[in-house]
Structure 1
Amino acid sequence: MKKVKITELAEVIRSKNSGPYELTLDIIFKNRKFFKLARHSGIFRKELYARLYNISVEQVLDLVEFEQANAIKATIVRPVVSGGQGETDVYGAQQHAPLLSIEVPIVT
């Protein structure tokens, strides 16, 4: 089965605060075709995010396919409270790196 790197399909891959206890992870695809390829691959499930971020499935709080924006968004529990002792990324803007390793299988 052919696989395509997420960086070839996505225009934006980012993370951001979703409050002091949560992070939102966004993948915004270059176009509707690439969004549909990703959606139909079946890999964008809570289990994927749990594995990438080494957290339990229960810590993946939400997963939304936002078709109007060609986006897939996930919200996860922050490992450390924003601004808390030991926090290294108060804004949550540097937490998207694990997403860059995703390879999307092309389902025909």
Structure 2
Amino acid sequence: MPETTLAELAHEVRSKNAGPFWVTLELFMRDADGYRVAADETFLNERVVASLYRVEEETIQIFRIPSLNVVKISFPRPVSQGSLRDRDMHAGQHHVPLARMVVPLS
């Protein structure tokens, strides 16, 4: 049986800078069913995000917006934007680990 990922349930999964020191990930889910999966705190929570992105769990902010079927996640960038060790200046590729998360069977 093929696995379903968050990207397949979403209209769009993206990441971007939220200033030079923060990254924001956004899950724009296609419908309320997809939103329920993405917003499920037992599936997607601070611990999971910390593991995916190697950041401190207590620094992660998750915003669940049911009226828009959107989940937003913000956390401090590992290095500031444009610094010598910055490998993704616009944080445009940070969404990939989140998009590839396999959704549990219902």
Q: TM-score range by the shorter chain?
A: 0.7 to 0.9
Residues 95, 38 of structure 1: CA spacing in aligned structure 2 closer, same or farther, 3 A cutoff? closer
User: Superposition pairs for residues 24-103 of structure 1, below 5 Å?
Assistant: 24-40=24-40, 42-60=42-60, 62-103=61-102
CA distance in 2, matches of 1:24, 1:78: 9
8 A Cα contact 2:37 2:43, kept in partner: no
More strand by share: 1
Q: CA deviation at 1:68?
A: 2.1
Kept in 2: contact 1:15–1:96 (CA 8 A): yes
Deviation per residue, 1:13-70 (Å, 9 max, x gap):
110011111000111101122112333472111011001112220231x101011221
State yes or no: 1:11 paired with 2:11: yes
The amino acid of 1:12's aligned partner reads E
What TM-score do the two structures reach when normalised by structure 2? Answer: 0.86
Q: For structure 1, list consecutive stretches of 5 or more residues without a partner in the other structure.
A: none
Give TM-score, length-normalised by structure 1. Answer: 0.84
Equivalence for 1:21: 21
The runs of 4+ residues in structure 1 deviating greater than 4 Å are none
Aligned residues between the structures: 105
